[in-house]
């Protein structure tokens, strides 16, 4: 692999180890030298006159400074040389061991940069700085892989859903060409319906990407007004399905996009009507709590298995066939859009299956600190 010229970290660490060892050794030798000097006289010592020598004991040899220097310096130099070799060798080995995890991490990073996101470093050993780095990297790879998979699935599903209306239109057109005696009005009606569905789907996809990009202006929005507007718009639709809609709640201010929050409420109320039973009810409630602005949409309906709930938020998930109530089923983007809008507003979304059947959706959005709403404009 190419590296720009310069010392490698291993070499730098080795030199630092060896350098440190040398400095410590030199200091130690200096201390020993100073200590020894205290017991050595400065000049040449001649033994004092001894009268009974050579009969008496021989005079003691007292080394002077030169003697000490002659004895000490070569040994000190040898010791320093040994320390240097030891420091370099030991440092090289130690640095190699210390940096080994880094090599593993670099290898994994290179593989990831070529697009292979499935491998992990899985660094063994106890938690140290390298292990933390490796674990953080593994977590990042995991997230990235999940994200890429999700995007790929999304693109595949979107293409599939968009192809269906196009394929249906083509069939209708083919039939029209081969059988000129067919009722053209009926064909135009069917083409119109199919075309509308394709446009709705494309618009839903655009909305989803807009919410995900968080590219919208933020203003003060009253959720209770959004709830009222949504229920009013969908009232004829609810009547057609034989469902009654009740709205309650006071001013519930939050900060966000008026259009997106209205869309969110519409999707939830629409779901609550469509996935209901004839004669069922929908309750929409808004509430300004001290910690959050809450929107709750609750509806009667078929029993929902709790394990199904988390999947409903995924794009193109439509619940099970059994609990599908209407013949012209939706695309399965409604709750995915709601989820994106909630995320873009830093809120949370909770789905609860009602024991008696149907669903309770609770949205919590950041509240406003005592917003000075003078009166509600209707």
The residue among 280 and 334 lying less far from Mg ion, judged by its C-beta, is 334
Q: Would the CA dihedral through 263, 162, 336, 343 be positive or negative? A: negative
The residue among 14 and 271 lying less far from Mg ion, judged by its C-beta, is 271
The residue among 271 and 340 lying less far from Mg ion, judged by its C-beta, is 271
**Is 263 near Mg ion (CB under 5 A)?**
no
CA-CA distance, 223 to 229, in Å (whole number)? 10
Judged by beta carbon distances under 5 to 8 A according to partner kind, the member of Mg ion, ligand ATP, none in contact with residue 91 is: none
The residue among 25 and 334 lying less far from Mg ion, judged by its C-beta, is 334
**Is 315 near Mg ion (CB under 5 A)?**
no
Judged by beta carbon distances under 5 to 8 A according to partner kind, the member of Mg ion, ligand ATP, none in contact with residue 29 is: none
The residue among 141 and 210 lying less far from ligand ATP, judged by its C-beta, is 210
Which one, of 234, 201, 223, 249, lies nearest residue 345 by Cα?
A: 223
**Is 301 near Mg ion (CB under 5 A)?**
no
Judged by beta carbon distances under 5 to 8 A according to partner kind, the member of Mg ion, ligand ATP, none in contact with residue 134 is: none
Minimum gap (Å) between residue 315 Cβ and ligand ATP: 8
Minimum gap (Å) between residue 134 Cβ and ligand ATP: 38
Q: What is the largest CA-CA distance in the chain?
A: 153
Which of 87, 315, 319, 334 is in the footprint of Mg ion by CB under 5 A?
334
The residue among 198 and 336 lying less far from ligand ATP, judged by its C-beta, is 336
Minimum gap (Å) between residue 193 Cβ and ligand ATP: 15
Alpha-carbon distance values, 75 to 20, 69, 81 (Å): 20, 10, 10
**Is 271 near Mg ion (CB under 5 A)?**
yes
Minimum gap (Å) between residue 310 Cβ and Mg ion: 16
Alpha-carbon distance values, 311 to 105, 232, 335 (Å): 35, 30, 10
Q: How many CB atoms lie within 10 A of CB 47?
A: 11
Give DSSP secondary structure letters for 23-70: HHHHHHHHHHHHHHHTTS-SSPPPPPP-TTTTTSPPPPP---HHHHHH
Tally of CA atoms within 13 A in the half-sphere of 244 that contains its CB: 3
The residue among 74 and 305 lying less far from ligand ATP, judged by its C-beta, is 305
Contact 278, 242 (CB under 8 A): yes
Minimum gap (Å) between residue 341 Cβ and ligand ATP: 13
Minimum gap (Å) between residue 276 Cβ and Mg ion: 12
Contact residues for ligand ATP, defined by CB under 6 A: 271-272, 274-275, 299, 301, 304, 312, 317-319, 323, 329-336, 358-359
Beta bridge partners of 237: none
Helix axes 258-274, 184-213, angle to 10 degrees: 130
Q: How many CB atoms lie within 10 A of CB 17?
A: 20
Alpha-carbon distance values, 192 to 180, 186, 198, 378 (Å): 19, 10, 10, 36
Going across the sheet that includes 348-353, the strands are: 244-249, 281-288, 293-299, 359-365, 348-353
Which of 87, 253, 301, 330 is in the footprint of Mg ion by CB under 5 A?
330
Minimum gap (Å) between residue 298 Cβ and ligand ATP: 8
Minimum gap (Å) between residue 347 Cβ and Mg ion: 19
Minimum gap (Å) between residue 183 Cβ and ligand ATP: 29
The residue among 324 and 343 lying less far from Mg ion, judged by its C-beta, is 324
Interface with Mg ion by CB under 5 A: which range of 19-27, 278-286, 312-320, 331-339? 331-339
Mode of pairing for the β-strands spanning 244-249 and 281-288? parallel
Alpha-carbon distance values, 140 to 108, 133, 162, 368 (Å): 12, 10, 32, 34
The residue among 91 and 334 lying less far from ligand ATP, judged by its C-beta, is 334
Judged by beta carbon distances under 5 to 8 A according to partner kind, the member of Mg ion, ligand ATP, none in contact with residue 211 is: none
In the complex, the residues that contact Mg ion under the rule CB under 5 A are 271, 330, 334
């Amino acid at each position: 692999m190419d590296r720009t010229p310069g010392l490698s970290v291993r070499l730098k660490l080795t030199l630092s180890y060896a350098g440190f060892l040398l400095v410590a050794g030199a200091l130690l030798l200096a201390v020993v030298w100073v200590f020894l000097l205290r017991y050595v006289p400065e000049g040449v010592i001649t033994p004092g006159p001894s009268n009974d020598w050579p009969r008496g004991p021989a005079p003691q040899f007292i080394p002077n400074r030169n003697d000490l220097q002659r004895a000490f310096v070569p040994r000190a130099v040898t010791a320093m040389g040994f320390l240097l070799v030891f420091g370099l060798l030991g440092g090289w080995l130690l640095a190699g061991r210390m940096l080994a995890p880094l090599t593993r991490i670099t290898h994994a990073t290179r593989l990831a940069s070529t697009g292979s996101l499935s491998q992990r470093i899985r660094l063994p050993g106890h938690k140290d700085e390298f292990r933390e780095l490796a674990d953080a990297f593994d977590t990042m790879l995991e997230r990235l892989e999940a994200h890429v998979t999700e995007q790929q699935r999304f693109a595949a599903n979107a293409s599939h859903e968009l192809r269906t209306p196009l394929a249906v239109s083509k069939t209708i057109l083919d039939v029209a060409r081969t059988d000129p005696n067919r009722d053209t009005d009926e064909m135009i009606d069917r083409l119109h319906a199919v075309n509308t569905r394709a446009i709705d789907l494309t618009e839903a996809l655009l909305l989803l990407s807009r919410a995900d990009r968080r590219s919208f202006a933020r203003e003060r929005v009253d959720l209770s007004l959004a709830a009222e507007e949504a229920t009013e718009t969908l009232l004829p639709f609810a009547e057609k399905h034989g469902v009654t809609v009740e709205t309650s709640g006071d001013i519930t201010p939050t900060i966000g996009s008026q259009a997106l929050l209205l869309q969110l409420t519409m999707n939830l109320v629409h779901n609550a009507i469509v996935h209901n039973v004839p004669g069922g009810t929908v309750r929409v409630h808004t509430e300004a709590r001290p910690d959050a602005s809450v929107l709750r949409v609750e509806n009667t309906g078929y029993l929902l298995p709790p394990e199904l709930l988390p999947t409903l938020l995924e794009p193109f998930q439509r619940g099970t066939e059994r609990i599908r109530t209407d013949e012209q089923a939706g695309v399965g983007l409604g709750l995915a859009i709601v989820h994106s809008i909630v995320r873009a507003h830093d809120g949370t979304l909770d789905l609860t299956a009602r024991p008696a059947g149907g669903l309770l959706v609770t949205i919590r959005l950041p509240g406003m600190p005592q917003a000075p709403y003078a009166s509600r404009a209707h």
